[in-house]
Structure 1
Amino acid sequence: MKRIFDTLFALILINILWLPIILIAIMVKVTSKGPAIYWSQRIGRDNNIFMMPKFRSMLISTPTKATHLLDNPDQWLTPIGSFLRRSSLDELPQLWSILKGDMSFVGPRPALFNQDDLIKLRTASAVNTLLPGITGWAQINGRDEIPIPQKVELDIYYLEHQSLWLDFKIIILTTLKVLRRDNITH
């Protein structure tokens, strides 16, 4: 049922958002060097690596590590990067990952391939058996503001309580948080 919901909802959103997606891609290309889409190696279900697309919000010379681990993340942002991140519009290309089956709308956010501490904790608690999501229980309860062990505890809660109803609740709360810009630093 979840896969059917993900596929149908992704197709609906693509049909509604195709013009903004094209305009954002053009704006990324016009305002900075490099491709409009950045493909990031991420850890998916069962710790398999997949390529996750995002609109590029960082300069092409940015080190490959989590943004919150950069010394001065703002120095790496493109001219429209901050806006894309604050509005979460940089996540729109992940609709492709949902259609492809690499992601879901709701699940733990996919770790970067080099976030060994997060991957280890998720594997030990079986969170790695879940399909990663564009949003999740940890995102609506703190996003990047919470330490990794607490994030994994929230992922465990989702693993143990997942349902279509909880997914709807997370999607609605995510939408509200994005509109209010809660817990968004860059």
Structure 2
Amino acid sequence: MRLPKTAHTSRPWRIHEIAGDFHVEDVWALLTPGGPDDLHHLVRQITTGPNDKTTIPSPVYRALFAIRWWLGRVLGWDKERDGLGSRVLTLRDRLPADLREVPRGPDAESVPFTSVFQLHDEWVSEMANRTVHGVMHIGWVPDETRKGGYRGQMTVLVKPNGIFGAVYMVCIKPFRYVGVYPALMRAIGREWQAGAAERVAGRRG
């Protein structure tokens, strides 16, 4: 479910300290019901990808991403010189001293996101190419539908690369809302449910 941007901006996340020049593009509630200490399970799920083939996103979702990566190769959008540490500095260079001491968190295996920092209730990763510098923020928030429950919340923050990047973001918006994000949210929820037994066993152990 898509949420208002205030669902992100109203919370005292540490990301606000280092990404004030980024635009909050989207905020989504994740179908990941859990307990107060379960964020690390969600981070592991996102960074390692689906274990169960039945939870893989739809063919439309996969096709849209395949087209995007193909265009990136053909048009040179994803070259190393346009990435982190080249065209833009990593957000790790902006971290206050205390956040430099916490675990950085895992990098994603199947998508070009690099972890910035991971806390008990907050995980931040970033990517950059010729079009944008993007941030994926995963927060762990109280679940208003379940007493004492928690769930994930995903926020996408972006800083477009000039006019070209701004036009790119406008052009892909319909595809994000129709073909990408709904399928991704469903896939995350299915994978989370598939791992429920393992998480419960881990708590008991």
TM-score (norm 2): 0.27
Comparing both structures, which one devotes a greater share of its residues to helix? Answer: 1
Rg bigger for which structure? 2
TM-score in terms of structure 1 length: 0.28
With CA pairs under 8 Å and 6+ residues apart, which has the higher RCO, 1 or 2?
Answer: 2
Higher percent of residues as strand:
2
